[in-house]
Amino acid sequence: MSMISDSSAVLELQRILPQHQSAITLLNNMVQDPCINEIKWLDLACGKGQIISQLKENLSDNNRKKIIYDGYDINVEFTKIASRIASNLELRQYRFNHGDLSNFAVVLGVEKEFDFITCTNVAHELHPNAFVSLVLDSFKRLTSSGQLFIYDMESLTTPELGAFPLRGNEITSLLNTIFECLNTVYRVHASVWSHKTCKGWSIIINRAHISIENEIFDKEKKAITNKIKLKIDDIIQSRCKECVDLLTTYTIYGADTAEDEQLKLVALYEFWALHYARGGK
């Protein structure tokens, strides 16, 4: 896995983003369980801590004290900011670890399991192969009742060079390919959300619903990887055709309106992202 240099992380202390609101709602449900004293939460590619920035308002004092938060990111400067936020939340414990996402299980300890794993606004920054591999590694790190919450945009308001935003239907098809290979009847469906400036998708995966042991994941990993690679090649090919058709139209007829200009720009970024993704990074 490698990082794109246009990668950035937002931190707006005055507002909560809808994807973070959804994640915290799930978390609130977990910490409200009176039988539970401790929730282990792993926030993959946590950035500057936007998701925890309003936790004091979102969760009760007592329930925040149940949380053991692990933030993980490659960018040390980002996690310094997140750590400052976490230090004011009176959590049971918090830690930040650094490294590439492909290595998170090793950095955190391969036996470690989490009740809640979040991965928000990250998928577009990874090659789809790397993203699916991250999802597989995350399944294995869930406790038997653990939940994985993933959210990403279908298109970026500010385009980033090399970013490849997957669409809701593509992520649904990729993840269900994994479940087919695992021979389970479990299937997911990405919810697609139309926001004011972009569309996004979210997936929630509950480990209890998959009912597959880690050994089966390991046994099937090669078959899954091979099948996923073929699926991703198909996605790239079909998106390439779409993109080339659009750019051909603009080349011949021009982009007349401001909206056309914007679509042309997005298509040019997409063209580069597809070329980059074809390199298999």
Ligand X SMILES: C[S@@+](CC[C@H](N)C(=O)[O-])C[C@H]1O[C@@H](n2cnc3c(N)ncnc32)[C@H](O)[C@@H]1O
Chain residues in the site for ligand X (CB under 6 A): 1, 3, 7, 9-10, 45-47, 50-51, 73-75, 78, 100-101, 120-122, 125
Strand partners, 193: 200
Which residues have CB under 8 Å from 222's CB, separation 6+? Answer: none
The values of phi and psi at residue 77, to 5°, are -65, -40
Q: Least distance to ligand X from the beta carbon of 87, Å?
A: 18
- The residue (of 3 and 68) whose beta carbon lies closer to ligand X is 3
- The residue (of 99 and 109) whose beta carbon lies closer to ligand X is 99
CA angle 74, 145, 26 (to 5 degrees): 65
- The residue (of 7 and 184) whose beta carbon lies closer to ligand X is 7
- The residue (of 1 and 263) whose beta carbon lies closer to ligand X is 1
Residue identified by tokens 């994941």 is: 217
Q: Could you tell me the two tokens for 75? A: 């960018």
Q: Least distance to ligand X from the beta carbon of 44, Å?
A: 7
- The residue (of 7 and 225) whose beta carbon lies closer to ligand X is 7
Amino acid, res. 258: A
Burial state string for 238-276 with b = 16 or more CB within 10 A and e = fewer than 16: ebbeebeebbeebeeeebeeeeeeebbeebebbbebbeb
Q: Does the CA dihedral 112-32-152-223 come out positive or negative?
A: positive
- The residue (of 75 and 202) whose beta carbon lies closer to ligand X is 75
Q: Which residue is nearest to ligand X (CB)?
A: 47
Q: Least distance to ligand X from the beta carbon of 118, Å?
A: 7
Q: Least distance to ligand X from the beta carbon of 101, Å?
A: 4
Q: Least distance to ligand X from the beta carbon of 135, Å?
A: 14
Q: Least distance to ligand X from the beta carbon of 74, Å?
A: 3
3-state secondary structure of 271: helix
